[in-house]
Amino acid sequence: MCTEVAVVGLGYVGLPLARRACEAGLTAVGHDIDAEVVAGLEGGRSHIGDIHDGDVGAMRAAGFRASTDPAVLAGAHTVVICVPTGLTPAGEPDLEPLLAAVRTVARHLEPGTLVCVESTSHPGTTEEIVRPLLEAHGLRAGEDFHLAYSPERIDPGNRRYTLRTTPKVVSGSTELCAKHAAAFYERLVDEVVVAAGTREAEMAKILENAYRYVNIALVNEAAVYCDRVGIDIWDVLRCADTKPFGFSAFRPGPGVGGHCIPVDPRYLMARAAEQGFTFHTLGAARAVLDAMPDHVAGRARDLLVAAGKDPARARV
**Which residue among the candidates 22, 116, 177, 260 is catalytic per the annotation?**
260
82 is catalytic: no
| Spatial separation of the C-alpha atoms in residues 193 and 123, rounded to whole Å | 18
Residues with a catalytic annotation lie at: 260
